[in-house]
Amino acid sequence: MPSERAPQHDPRHEPVMLHDVVDALAVRPGGRYVDATVGLGGHASAILEAAQPGGRLLGIDRDPQALAIATERLAPHGDAVVLARGEFAEVARICEERGFAPVDGILIDAGVSSLQLDTAGRGFSFRRDEPLDMRMDPDGPTTAADIVNTSTEFDLAATIFQYGEERRSRRIAKVIVERRPLRTTGDLARAVEAAVGRRPQDRIHPATLTFQALRIAVNGELEQLEAALDAAHDLLAPGGRLAVISFHSLEDRMVKQFIRDHTRDCICPPKQPICTCDHRATLRDVVRGGRTASDDEVARNPRARSARLRAAERLAVAA
Ligand SMILES: C[S@@+](CC[C@H](N)C(=O)[O-])C[C@H]1O[C@@H](n2cnc3c(N)ncnc32)[C@H](O)[C@@H]1O
């Protein structure tokens, strides 16, 4: 068990768009909520407070270090909170095992936490030279080093292109393969820099998109989100709300499409003259177009810059 506490005064540990999230979930006293990415417990704490008297929350995370901090932080809520280690793709099973369904709200604050980015030895960041790991769950089967050292050049380029949307993926994969084995975040950052150079006008480090791609691959982030959205939809009681914060366009596109598909009565191809799909809307979009953090919040916490919140409400109709 880690002894560190989440420093509450550090803006990097502030939950992103806190008030917007509580609003989007329409948290009400006595409600039953799932925080599928409980992290350091910041959102969970605010949800629990707004849900009193009588509200309960089930918090899930795959990172035991985060859960240890959340346990300590949420302890004042006593029996109103239950924490579980697991993947949010498994949210239906986790809720069912605890008799925690249907629910009035589910939050997914996807991506890495400030704890994971800032803790030495987790291997998420090129700002320190450390083993190339990137697993949110330290018991997960595959590290970033496994991927860069064992994939074919073709597969590596595909991963970097697909998950990093990095146009220079082939050049990068070629240099990575030439330099194998790569052991540390520094080895990888230097390989990318050798492949694509670093121009003074670049706003971000040239390895940013490659690191994002590997992190998504290591943690199966898109597969997890896809499964969690479907499960969350089915767990919601009529009037229950789903809120999702995503930090990159691949996730946000998935959430946007998911909400679009479930808020329409017909999903037939637009050119088809007669509806044959029998599809009925089961959700209502409650934050049209999504919401981003305020300038003030971004100034305090630069990580909030890329956050986009989307939310939907379950309709009282049969699925
Ligand atoms: C951005 S942080 C959440 C911060 C949290 N909302 C708070 O207020 O402190 C994301 C958390 O979700 C967890 N996580 C990401 N993907 C996950 C998944 N597929 N299953 C379970 N936990 C996941 C990470 O381990 C991390 O702790």
Mutate which of 8, 62, 229 to test ligand 1's pocket (most atoms within 8 Å of Cβ)?
A: 62
Average pLDDT taken over every residue of the chain: 93
Last residue within a domain, chosen from 162, 189, 219 = 219
pLDDT at position 4, please? 43
C-alpha 37 – ligand 1 centre gap (Å): 4
Last residue within a domain, chosen from 198, 219, 240 = 219
Closest ligand 1 atom to 88 CA = 20
In-domain check, residue 4: no
Could you tell me if 170 and 305 lie in one domain? no
Q: Which pair of structure tokens corresponds to residue 246? A: 């995503």
Would you say residue 272 has pLDDT above 60? yes
Which CATH number do you get for residue 86?
3.40.50.150
C-alpha 136 – ligand 1 centre gap (Å): 8
pLDDT at position 314, please? 98
Could you tell me if 305 and 211 lie in one domain? no
pLDDT at position 10, please? 56
Span 29-39, average pLDDT:
98
pLDDT at position 318, please? 55
Could you tell me if 42 and 167 lie in one domain? no
- Residues 90-123: tens digit of each pLDDT: 999 999 999 999 999 999 999 899 889 888 889 9
Could you tell me if 179 and 238 lie in one domain? no
Would you say residue 214 has pLDDT above 90? yes
Could you tell me if 165 and 250 lie in one domain? no
C-alpha 55 – ligand 1 centre gap (Å): 22
Give me the domain span that covers residue 201: 132-219
Could you tell me if 61 and 177 lie in one domain? no
> Quick check: CB of 113 below 6 Å from ligand 1?
yes
Could you tell me if 103 and 146 lie in one domain? no
In-domain check, residue 3: no
Could you tell me if 97 and 32 lie in one domain? yes
C-alpha 114 – ligand 1 centre gap (Å): 10
Could you tell me if 22 and 105 lie in one domain? yes
> Quick check: CB of 39 below 6 Å from ligand 1?
yes
For residues 246 and 121, which has the higher predicted lDDT (pLDDT)? 246
